[in-house]
Amino acid sequence: MTQPVRPTIPRGREPQEGEAQPRPILLIEDTPSLQMVYRSVLASAGHRVSVAGTAAEGLARFQEVQPAVVLLDLMLPDRDGLELMQDMLTQRPETAVIVITANGSINKAVEAMRAGAHEFLVKPFDEQRFLGAVENASGSRVTRRRAAPEPEKVTPPMARAFLGSSEPMARIQAKIGSAARSMATVFITGESGTGKELCALAVHDNSARAAGPFIALNCGAIPQDLLESEVFGHVKGSFTGAIADKPGAAAAADNGTLFLDEICEMAPALQTKLLRFLQTSTVQPVGATRPRKVNVRIVCATNRDPLEAVRRGHFREDLYYRLYVVPIHMPPLRERGNDVIEIAETALERFSIEEGRVFDGLDPEVQALFRRHPWPGNVRQVLNVIRNVVVLNEGGMVTLDMLPDDLADSGATSRSAPAVPKPLPGAADPTLDGLIGRTLAEIEQLVIEATIERHGGSVPKAARILDVSPSTLYRKREGWTRE
């Protein structure tokens, strides 16, 4: 009789003679049928599995076999799965816990991720997703165990990407180091210019996927009718202008990281497809008849308040909870103390080399101005100011008269003129007369249309003034014309 062929997964191979037996995976699941299915899939991939049906039995097995990876159902008959996970991580912090939950308990899974879980799986999930999570967890724990003995001698690689030694940035670097080791989705927030893409790159570079591709896609810079093709790809002839097959960003990021910038600008229809992609790990290009599997980690970012976007109906709530697992907020430059001087001096040295100039540093008056300036453009604005100084001056010490006029003027004003108190809202302010009594939606429309008109009908210019994406204004105006 012909024997059935077992699936072959190289990383899950059986150990050869003389090699150490790998520690078993501990599966804690109270449903017997699911126990059997999960155990069979893991065993077919070459893993040894230890099974428990209750929290008490699971903790006893955990102490006995000391697994590197635990698969934990959060809904157990005798105890809350989250409490059990915390007990296990207290005893063995290097353990990778993959929590398993149903669709209605995503909030619980998010809570588990914040408490130290490595990854979560939402039922139902397919075999590839299941095995991929286990393999990633196994690999990352090896790295952590090797790095553990001398943590004080390890310099986080992301320190090379971020300039600044302030306490807020030290916390960010520590959070990146923890998040990078997991497969969890990272959601980066922060004002424009704070370094959200650098943060995403640091997560990728410090992860087990560092050798794979890092694909960045700005959801606010691509027309909505082309965004689906950019994310998921298309086949030749699927629409006018599709003269060849295109893989799309999700497929290009296979075995790597997909960075979705300005995620809150994504059209609602595409949000639905992104949610399905996250649940199934499959992509279906525009015009294709069959989907394909990919192995991608998602990192996303926005300069908006994502929860406010959910409240306004601009962002799907279920997608928000699926993505907002490990949040990282990039602090604005005005909250980073002396970091602005470190950034400016480093940029001055780099740009001087590029432009063939010799500068001797920042004058104390310039340093004082830099410290008190609010820097609404954050790090990007500092770099632009220093580039301007280097290009327009021959060298020497950077003084106030070398700075761009608007920055130099703000320094002179702050030294000589007393602060003028702002009037109370509505106090003798005629510009408010036409707004009182209107709804917020009406006021928003009036302000947007007036700003566009003031800038000669240019939506991109108005978007810069209002600090929103042009696609946001186009979408709002389209909605108003339909009403």
346 backbone dihedrals φ, ψ, rounded to 5°: -65, -45
Task: Give residue 15's pLDDT band: very low, low, confident or very high (50, 70, 90).
Answer: very low
Alpha-carbon span 86 to 82, nearest angstrom = 6
What is the predicted pLDDT for the residue at 103? 53
Q: Are 360 and 396 in contact (CB under 8 A)?
A: yes
With DSSP H G I counted as helix, E B as strand and the rest as coil, what are the percentages for the chain, rounded to 5? 50, 15, 35
115-141: per-residue pLDDT in tens? 777 777 777 777 777 887 788 777 644
Residue 289 CB burial class (10 angstroms; 0-12, 13-18, ≥19)? exposed
Please count the other Cβ atoms lying within 10 Å of the Cβ belonging to residue 427: 8
Mean pLDDT of 299-306: 92
What is the predicted pLDDT for the residue at 266? 87
Give the residue with greater pLDDT, 47 vs 147: 47
Residue 413 has pLDDT above 50, yes or no: no
What is the predicted pLDDT for the residue at 152? 35
Q: Are 42 and 49 in contact (CB under 8 A)?
A: yes
Q: Which amino acid is at 180?
A: A
What is the predicted pLDDT for the residue at 181? 84
Q: Which amino acid is at 371?
A: R
* H or E element in which residue 328 lies: strand 326-329
Please count the other Cβ atoms lying within 10 Å of the Cβ belonging to residue 428: 7
What is the predicted pLDDT for the residue at 315? 92
Poorest-pLDDT segment among 9-18, 77-86, 401-410: 9-18
Residue 308 CB burial class (10 angstroms; 0-12, 13-18, ≥19)? exposed
Q: Which residue in 87, 82, 77, 79 sits closest to 30, CA to CA?
A: 77
Mean pLDDT of the chain: 78
What is the predicted pLDDT for the residue at 19? 45
Burial 131-141, CB ≥16 within 10 A → b, else e: bbbbbbbbebb
What is the predicted pLDDT for the residue at 154? 35
21-36: per-residue pLDDT in tens? 567 899 999 888 888 8
What is the predicted pLDDT for the residue at 236? 78
* Strand locations in 139-224 (E): 186-189, 214-218
What is the predicted pLDDT for the residue at 408? 61
Q: Which residue in 210, 207, 262 sits closest to 231, CA to CA?
A: 262
Q: Which residue in 50, 116, 51, 105 sits closest to 83, CA to CA?
A: 116
Task: Give residue 429's pLDDT band: very low, low, confident or very high (50, 70, 90).
Answer: very low
Alpha-carbon span 61 to 51, nearest angstrom = 8
Give the residue with greater pLDDT, 113 vs 391: 391
Q: Are 84 and 30 in contact (CB under 8 A)?
A: no
Mean pLDDT of 288-297: 84
191-200, 234-243, 408-417, range with greatest mean pLDDT: 191-200
Alpha-carbon span 460 to 371, nearest angstrom = 31
Which residues is 293 bridged to in the sheet?
A: 282
Mean pLDDT of 409-417: 49
Please count the other Cβ atoms lying within 10 Å of the Cβ belonging to residue 96: 28
Residue 146 has pLDDT above 70, yes or no: no
43-90: per-residue pLDDT in tens? 888 888 999 989 999 999 999 888 989 999 888 888 888 889 888 888
Q: Which residue in 327, 303, 317 sits closest to 111, CA to CA?
A: 327
Residue 18 has pLDDT above 70, yes or no: no
Q: Are 217 and 231 in contact (CB under 8 A)?
A: yes
Give the residue with greater pLDDT, 379 vs 412: 379
Mean pLDDT of 466-475: 74
Domains and CATH numbers, the chain: 10-14+21-147 (3.40.50.2300), 159-236+245-331 (3.40.50.300), 334-416 (1.10.8.60), 439-482 (1.10.10)
What is the predicted pLDDT for the residue at 3? 36
Poorest-pLDDT segment among 64-68, 211-215, 227-231, 478-482: 478-482
Q: Which residue in 297, 288, 331 sits closest to 181, CA to CA?
A: 297
CB within 8 Å of 176: residues ≥ 6 apart:
156, 158, 199, 202, 203, 206, 328
What is the predicted pLDDT for the residue at 273? 85
Q: Which amino acid is at 72?
A: L
Alpha-carbon span 453 to 459, nearest angstrom = 9
The whole-model pTM stands at 0.56
Express as a percent the part of the chain with pLDDT over 90.
20
What is the predicted pLDDT for the residue at 434? 64
* H or E element in which residue 296 lies: strand 296-302
Residue 372 has pLDDT above 80, yes or no: yes
Mean pLDDT of 223-239: 76
CB within 8 Å of 435: residues ≥ 6 apart:
443, 446
CB within 8 Å of 145: residues ≥ 6 apart:
94
What is the predicted pLDDT for the residue at 431? 53
Q: Give start and end residues of each alpha helix (H) in 163-248.
A: 167-180, 196-205, 224-232
The DSSP letter of residue 361 is E
Give the residue with greater pLDDT, 72 vs 441: 72
Alpha-carbon span 409 to 400, nearest angstrom = 9
141 backbone dihedrals φ, ψ, rounded to 5°: -70, -35
